[in-house]
Amino acid sequence: MTYLQGADFASLASSLDQARLLVVGDAMLDRFVAGTVERISPEAPIPILRVERRAEMPGGAGNVVANLLALGARVAFVAVVGDDEAGRVLAGFPDERLERALVVEPGRPTTVKTRFVAGTQQLLRIDEETTTAISPASEDAVLRAVENNLKQAGAVILSDYGKGVLTPRVCQGIIKLARAAKVPVLVDPKGADYTRYDGATAVTPNRRELEQATGRVARHDDEVEAAARSLIAKHHFDALIATRSEQGLSVVRATDAQHIPARAREIFDVSGAGDTVMATLAAAVATGASLTDAAALANAAGGVAVAKPGTATVSRDELVHALELHDETKFLARDGAAGRVETWRRRGLKVAFTNGCFDILHPGHVHLLRQARATADKLIVGLNSDASVKRLKGPARPVNDERARAQVLASLADVDAVVVFEEDTPLQLLDALHPDVLVKGADYTIEQVVGADLVQSYGGKVVLAELVPDQSTTKTIARMAKK
């Protein structure tokens, strides 16, 4: 599992309303005709759908835009539509955070996908579309629109559904403009030839698309890395982000890779989840997040999306809520923890702090943490780094590295955040957090507790927790050695 120390994902998700994105791609209109089926037609062995409701919404690259808007981002959308009813419908969806630059190409139909649904069962889909490349005049218009909107964008999304908008000339023109402006370009690719995407910041194929583009098997981590690096070298990408369904996401660069596991949850419908992942990834990058942290956030958003029926968007509040319930958000750097404490305080919550090595978790630890959590609404645990444990306990310690120790602590319901610190004592961390309550074991006196005077100086409280007799990591190791 990738240890994403230092990223406060709930805070990152909360900041997505500051993102400004430019989306270029294939606009579609999704139509839904829904009702019930109670009998089979006497004319042919087909169900008769009694229509009860109809709905229309943007699809294709428009669904990426819809996801960005749900996250609170501001969006400029550049696409090509026909001079027809569907094109006019796409131009009419209101949103004050959306600026459209829809190029109308006479004689070209707007892509429409009509789905007939009974209950949750899709009976039939009808596609009205063309996949021929847009005209040179439309290419010119698209590039002009991109140039006009690029300076306000924190990132560009190329959403390629293979309907003819993202021609090689359009893709290369956008990538060159964005590179010159130092704006990252993220591509949701289509097809096996990635030449048109040469020089993009990152591409986001799924596992099947990665195998198709490279002719390699990409099921295991090392296979994904090898396939990804072949594309990175060939097309000069900064990175490749592979979406791997139940295996999560992989962020691969020329010299390193991070594999982010999927979030376990019930899968209801995968429709549109890729658009949710791309929107969240790009929005996070647009706010200045690293690709790895942005991918981890996108992975969380995808987990929310697949638990919802239909081509669903994920709102910023839904994402923040999902993150607050997941242990990964408990791993914080010092600055992230300070921000989290400030957020809790604005909500009127009291914060407790305790610290230690927590090398081999035993009943004494659990009892301490339970008492500490009982003193406040939230509990932050300061965890000694591997280097500081070695200095304090000797070269044979820790038994478990800081990643493993942090994961075990984060899995406990009583623990709300875990912060690894490099110093021998938590004094600097306490100075950054200013907890309301400092908790240590009763084998200390208050005068011996590091940071007690600091906490008391601003009105905080120091609590000495009751100990469980004969429980310590040192004694646990001694018993193991004896046996």
Instruction: Tell me, yes or no, whether 188 and 312 share the same domain.
Output: yes
Same domain, 102 and 172: yes
Q: Which of 290, 325, 360 is the last residue of a domain?
A: 325
Phi, psi (rounded to 5 degrees) for 307: -90, 5
pLDDT at 308: 60
92 and 229 fall within a common domain: yes
Within 10 angstroms of residue 95's Cβ, the number of other Cβ atoms is: 12
pLDDT on residue 14 = 85
**Do 250 and 342 fall within a single domain?**
no
Co-location of 395 and 274 in the same domain = no
Cα(306)–Cα(297) distance, rounded to whole angstroms?
A: 15
Residue 253 lies in a domain: yes
Give the mean pLDDT per block of 10 residues along the chain (483 residues). Answer: 49 90 97 95 95 94 94 96 96 90 96 92 94 97 97 96 97 98 97 96 96 94 96 97 87 91 54 83 94 89 72 78 62 78 83 92 89 95 93 87 87 90 94 95 90 95 85 58 62
Same domain, 321 and 353: no
Phi, psi dihedrals of residue 99, rounded to the nearest 5°: -110, 125
Residue 387: give its domain's CATH number. 3.40.50.620
- Pick out the residues of the known binding site: 206-209
Binding site per annotation, positions for ATP: 206-209
Q: What is the gyration radius of the CA atoms in the chain, in angstroms?
A: 27
Residue 3 forms part of a structural domain: no
Token couple for 61: 């690259």
CATH number at residue 157: 3.40.1190.20
Does 2 reside within a domain? no
**Residue 144 domain-assigned?**
yes
Task: Please give the pLDDT value at position 54.
Answer: 95
Partners of residue 21 on adjacent β-strands: 75, 155
Query: Does the residue 320 lie in any domain?
Result: yes
Non-local (6+) Cβ contacts of 455 within 8 A are 430, 434, 435, 437, 438, 461, 462
Same domain, 106 and 211: yes
CA distance 31 to 428: 58
143 found inside a domain: yes
How far apart are alpha carbons 78 and 146 in whole angstroms? 7
- The whole-number pLDDT of residue 39 equals 94
Helix, strand or coil, per DSSP, at residue 66: helix
Q: Are residues 313 and 351 in the same domain?
A: no
Contact present, 302 and 273 (Cβ < 8 Å): yes
Same domain, 206 and 310: yes
pLDDT at 479: 56
317 is catalytic: no
Is 291 inside any structural domain? yes
- One domain for residues 260 and 349: no
Q: Considering 274, 307, 325, which residue would you say is the last residue of a domain?
A: 325
> In this structure, are residues 194 and 231 in contact, taking their beta carbons and an 8 Å threshold?
yes
| Cβ proximity of 61 and 101 under 8 Å | no
Q: Cβ neighbours of residue 300 under 8 Å, at least 6 residues apart?
A: 9, 13, 263, 280, 319, 322, 323, 326, 328
**126 Cβ contact list (under 8 Å, min separation 6):** 113, 114, 116
* 448: containing domain: 331-482
Q: Take residue 352 and report the two structure tokens written for it.
A: 């407790």
The last residue of one of the domains, among 296, 325, 354, is: 325
d(CA 11, CA 436): 21
Which one of the listed residues 275, 293, 416, 436 is annotated catalytic? 275
- Do 420 and 474 share a domain, yes or no? yes
- What domain count does the chain have? 2
Residue 1 within any structural domain of the chain? no
Structure tokens at 58: 């943007």
CA separation, residue 11 to residues 61, 69, 338, 343, 344 (Å): 27, 18, 11, 9, 12
Q: Please report the pLDDT score of residue 260 as a whole number.
A: 84
How, if at all, do strands 202-203 and 185-188 pair? parallel
Q: Do 380 and 271 lie in a common domain?
A: no
